[in-house]
Amino acid sequence: MIIVTGGAGFIGSNLVHELNRAGHTDILVVDNLAPASNLSGPKFLNLQGALYADYMDKLDFLDSLIEGDFDEEPIEAILHQGACSNTLEDDGQYMMRNNFDYSKVLLHFATEREIPFVYASTAATYGASTAFAVDPANERPLNVYGFSKLVFDNYVRRLAPAFTSPVIGLRYFNVYGPREQHKGRMASVIHHFTRQLLDSGTIRMFEGSGGFKDGEQRRDFVFVRDLARINMFFGGLLPDSPREPVQAVVNAGTGHARTFKAVAESLMAVHGAGKIEFIPFPGDLKDRYQHFTEAEISGLRSAGYSAPLTELEDGVRETFAEEPAARA
C-alpha cells in the first residue's frame, strides 16, 4: 500500500494519477473534504478517473494510526502532501496542529517501521530572503504557513542522524498544472491568468513591486507532474529510485526563475492573443509576498534526482492538453 495524504488536493491528486501511470493502484487516499471558505470548488473532482484502493478522512486516519490499526499493514511509502496551504491563514494554532503536529505523528510512524517518508515543505520557508539555498541563514518566513513548514523541517533535520530509512522534505516552489481549479485565491498565476484571458481577453498582473518593474517579478514555476515524479523517486517507487536511504531537505523547483510576462506569453501561445493590464499591488499581501523565487537545486541533484525538469512553455501546453475544458 502507498499512502498519499492530501490526496484529493492539487499536488496530491496529480501524484495519485502519476502513480497510476506507473502501475500503482494499491493507494490509500487521505484528505479532508469538509467545506472551506478559501476553496472555490470541490476537491473530489480531482480524483475522477484515478484508481485507488481506499479513502479516509484525515482525522479518522490519524486516529487509526495512533490506535495501531496500521501496524501490520505492508506500506511501501508515505507521500505526505496534506497541510493547510493557505498563506493568508493567520490562525497559528490551527496551522501548527495541521502542519506540524500531524506531520510529526506520520514521521515517527514511518521511521519506526522504516517506511520511506516523503513530505511537502515549501519555498515559503525562505520568505523575505533573496537566496534560496537550503541554509538556515536564508530561512525567513513571512507568514505562519511558512513558519509551520520550517519548524517541521528543523525537527526533521535535528532527528535525521538517527533515521535508517528514507526521509525527504521537498521545498516546493511555485507549482502549476492541472487540477488546481478548487484552490481559489491560492491557485497559481497560470490558473488565474488563464481564467482572465479566456473570460475577458485581458491578463491582469500586479504593477512593479519589490524593486521589479511591471510584470518583471520573477518566480520559479515548477510543473506539478515533475513534483509527482520527484516524490515517487524518493519514495522508492521508480526503477531508478535510490538504493540507499536518503535523508535530506531539498528544494524542488527548476532552478530557473521566469517573469510574470513570460507566463502571460506562454498562455497566449496556447489560448490566443490578449492584452496585459497592470493593477495596484494588494494591501493584504504587503510584507508577506515573495517578489522573486529561484530554487537552488544542487541538493536535489546530489540526492540522486537527475531527470530534466519541464520548461514553463512545455508545462503550460501539457496542462491545457490535459484540461481541454479550460479552453471553453
Q: Are 118 and 231 in contact (CB under 8 A)?
A: yes
pLDDT of residue 37: 64
Q: What is each CA distance from 227 to 86, 213, 278, 287, 296, in whole angstroms?
A: 19, 30, 31, 28, 15
**pLDDT by residue (tens digit) across 130-169?**
999 999 999 999 999 999 999 999 999 999 999 999 999 9
pLDDT of residue 204: 94
> What structural domains and CATH numbers belong to the chain?
2-178+222-256+293-310 (3.40.50.720)
pLDDT of residue 22: 97
In this model, does residue 38 exceed pLDDT 70?
no
In this model, does residue 67 exceed pLDDT 70?
yes
In this model, does residue 311 exceed pLDDT 80?
yes
User: Known catalytic residues?
Assistant: 145, 183
pLDDT of residue 40: 67
Report which of residues 41 and 189 the model is more confident about: 189
**pLDDT by residue (tens digit) across 166-219?**
999 999 999 999 999 887 777 888 999 999 999 999 999 988 888 899 999 999
In this model, does residue 323 exceed pLDDT 80?
no
Instruction: Report residue 14's pLDDT band, with 50, 70 and 90 as the boundaries.
Output: very high
Centre a 10 Å sphere on the Cβ of residue 202 and count the other Cβ atoms it contains: 12
The pLDDT mean for the chain works out to 93
Nearest to 248 by CA among 323, 324, 165: 165
Phi, psi dihedral angles at 175 (to 5 degrees): -85, 140
- The DSSP bridge pattern shows strands 258-259 and 218-219 to be antiparallel
State percent of the chain over pLDDT 70: 96
pLDDT of residue 328: 32
Q: Are 38 and 185 in contact (CB under 8 A)?
A: yes
Average pLDDT over residues 45-67: 97
Q: What is each CA distance from 290 to 187, 271, 281, in whole angstroms?
A: 15, 27, 12
86-100, 109-123, 136-150, 263-277, range with the lowest pLDDT: 86-100
Cα 326 to Cα 104: distance, rounded to the nearest angstrom: 38
pLDDT of residue 269: 96
**pLDDT by residue (tens digit) across 68-82?**
999 999 999 999 999
Cα 300 to Cα 253: distance, rounded to the nearest angstrom: 9
